[in-house]
Amino acid sequence: MGDRAKKRVFDRLPDRLSSMKAPISPCSMVQTPISPLLHAGPTSCALGPHVVEKINAKHLCKPSFISATIYHPTLTAGGNTQFPSIVVVGGWACGEQAMAAWGPFYASHGIIAMTIGTPAPFKDMPAQRCMALLDAVRALQAENTSPGSVLQGRLKSSCSVQGWSLGGGGAQLAAMADLSLKCVIALCPHPGPPETPGLPGRLSDSVPVLIIAGQNDNVANTQSFAWPEYHSTSAPSLILEVRGGDHAVANGPSGGTTKEGLGMGPGFMCLVANFVLHNCCSITPCPYGTYNGPVGHARPMAPLGAIGGFALAWLKLFLEGDESARSLLLARPDIASGFEMKGIALRFDKS
* CATH number, residue 107: 3.40.50.1820
Q: In the prediction, which pLDDT does 35 show?
A: 36
Nearest residue to 172 via CA among 162, 182, 157, 158? 162
Residue 100 within a domain: yes
Instruction: Name the E strands within the chain.
Output: 52-56, 67-73, 83-89, 112-117, 155-164, 183-187, 209-214, 237-242, 336-342
Say how far apart CA 272 and CA 17 lie, in whole Å.
15
Sign of CA dihedral 297, 300, 303, 304: positive
Say how far apart CA 231 and CA 115 lie, in whole Å.
28
Residue 225 DSSP SS3: coil
Q: In the prediction, which pLDDT does 9 show?
A: 39
Residue 135 within a domain: yes
Residue 30 within a domain: no
Nearest residue to 114 via CA among 79, 80, 90? 90
What's the distance, CA 21 to chain centroid? 20
Tell me 228's DSSP state.
Answer: H
Nearest residue to 289 via CA among 98, 103, 136? 98
Amino acid at 204: S
Q: In the prediction, which pLDDT does 226 show?
A: 98
Residue 27 within a domain: no
Residue 2 within a domain: no
Q: In the prediction, which pLDDT does 258 show?
A: 82
Residue 332 within a domain: yes
Burial of 172 (0-12, 13-18, 19+ CB in 10 A): buried
Sign of CA dihedral 124, 128, 132, 133: positive
Q: What helix, strand, coil percent values describe the chain, rounded to 5?
A: 30, 20, 50
Say how far apart CA 120 and CA 135 lie, in whole Å.
16
Phi-psi region of 25 (alpha: psi -120 to 50; beta: other; left: phi over 0): beta
Q: In the prediction, which pLDDT does 121 show?
A: 87
Backbone angles phi, psi at 209, to 5 degrees: -130, 125
pTM flag (> 0.95): no
Query: Quick check: 222 and 338 in contact, CB under 8 A?
Result: yes
Amino acid at 63: P
Return the number of other C-beta atoms located less than 10 Å from residue 343's C-beta. 14
Q: How many residues can be counted in the chain?
A: 351
Q: In the prediction, which pLDDT does 346 show?
A: 59
Block means of pLDDT (10 residues each) for the chain, length 351 residues?
A: 45 46 36 36 88 96 97 73 96 89 96 95 94 98 95 96 97 98 98 90 97 96 97 98 96 90 55 59 54 83 96 98 94 96 74 50
* Per-residue burial over 133-161, b = 16 or more CB atoms within 10 Å of its CB, e = otherwise: bbbbbebbbebbebeebebeebbbebbbb
Q: Which domain holds residue 176?
A: 39-341
> In sequence order, what are the residues at sequence separation of 6 or more whose Cβ sits closer than 8 angstroms to the Cβ of residue 174?
130, 133, 134, 161, 163, 181, 184
> In sequence order, what are the residues at sequence separation of 6 or more whose Cβ sits closer than 8 angstroms to the Cβ of residue 231?
27, 28, 29
End-to-end CA distance of the chain: 55
Q: In the prediction, which pLDDT does 143 show?
A: 97
Residue 215 within a domain: yes
Q: How many domains does the chain have?
A: 1
